[in-house]
Structure 1
Amino acid sequence: MRLSAIHHVALICSDYPRSRAFYSETLGLPILREVYRRERDSWKLDLQVSPGVQLELFSFPHPPPRPSRPEALGLRHLAFAVPDVAAAVVELEARGVACEPIRVDEYTDCRFTFFADPDGLPIELYEVASAQ
């Protein structure tokens, strides 16, 4: 087996319109497709992160909560590469998104920060010079 790339990450949200707006408008991810799955009473939204990489956003009636803090087992956070973390923080804060102070990864010397999506999922912005 040869894993070549991450194709998508799937998230279940508690308030579909709010999360749809956050990911497509606040974060600016282009919408690839949106479908309502009547048999599941569920929306599925495919957003493009980069060519070949997608974020799938799902709604389900009454999804159970999943703890993410303190450091719960499972997905720890979602990270996006950006060319300039400070510029991204300025954009997010102008859109009403609170960000943690920018830190430097002690192993790579790259800058990063965290913020939360509407359901409290931790999202990281990680500065990568080749991210465009």
Structure 2
Amino acid sequence: MLKLNRVHHIAIICSDYQKSKHFYSEILGLKIVREVYREERQSYKLDLEVGDQYQIELFSFPDPAARPSRPEAAGLRHIAFDVDDIDEAAAHIKSANISVEAIRTDEFTGKRFTFFADPDGLPVELYEV
């Protein structure tokens, strides 16, 4: 049987590199590990660290195709981050003038969560652990 250890990275293609770089590094506070510009592809690649474990790869490409994300389009649905205090985390996101959905409770786990969107409309979830 195949043994998968953990998620290695998550790749996100953005439409406005500087805006998304600011969102993920300044607003969400992810640590920049490496940033490179690939001239032959006219593309930036930004590696971001999440809690000393996972890495998000943020890519820019000229004129990326739009991908539907709502309502419930097929494909990757959202990215979720666990947080210690959902109220504090949601307040931080709101302080950056980003709309945050009402905090809800997961009916199966009893844990609280909420959603907001990145600059390209990708749903981002905060899940209280």
Whether 1:102 and 2:103 are equivalent positions in the alignment is: yes
Whether 1:92 and 2:88 are equivalent positions in the alignment is: no
Distance 1:110 1:126 in 2: 7
For 1:1-132, list aligned pairs within 5 A: 1-128=2-129
Distance 2:70 2:93 in 1: 22
Distance 2:30 2:97 in 1: 17
Distance 1:71 1:80 in 2: 19
State the TM-score, normalizing by the size of structure 2: 0.97
Distance 1:13 1:37 in 2: 15
Query: How far 1:96 moved relative to its partner?
Result: 1.2
Identity score, percent: 61
Distance 2:97 2:8 in 1: 29
Give the letter aligned to residue 19 of structure 2.
Answer: R
Distance 1:39 1:69 in 2: 33
Give the letter aligned to residue 83 of structure 2.
Answer: V
Query: How far 1:111 moved relative to its partner?
Result: 0.1
- The more displaced of 87-96 and 105-114 is 87-96
Query: How far 1:52 moved relative to its partner?
Result: 2.8
Following superposition, which runs of at least 4 residues in structure 1 exceed 2 angstroms of deviation? Answer: none
Aligned residues: 128
Gaps of 5+ in 1: none
Query: How far 1:8 moved relative to its partner?
Result: 0.7
Query: How far 1:117 moved relative to its partner?
Result: 0.2
Two-structure CA RMSD over aligned residues (Å): 0.6
State the TM-score, normalizing by the size of structure 1: 0.95
Distance 2:99 2:53 in 1: 29
Give the letter aligned to residue 77 of structure 1.
Answer: H
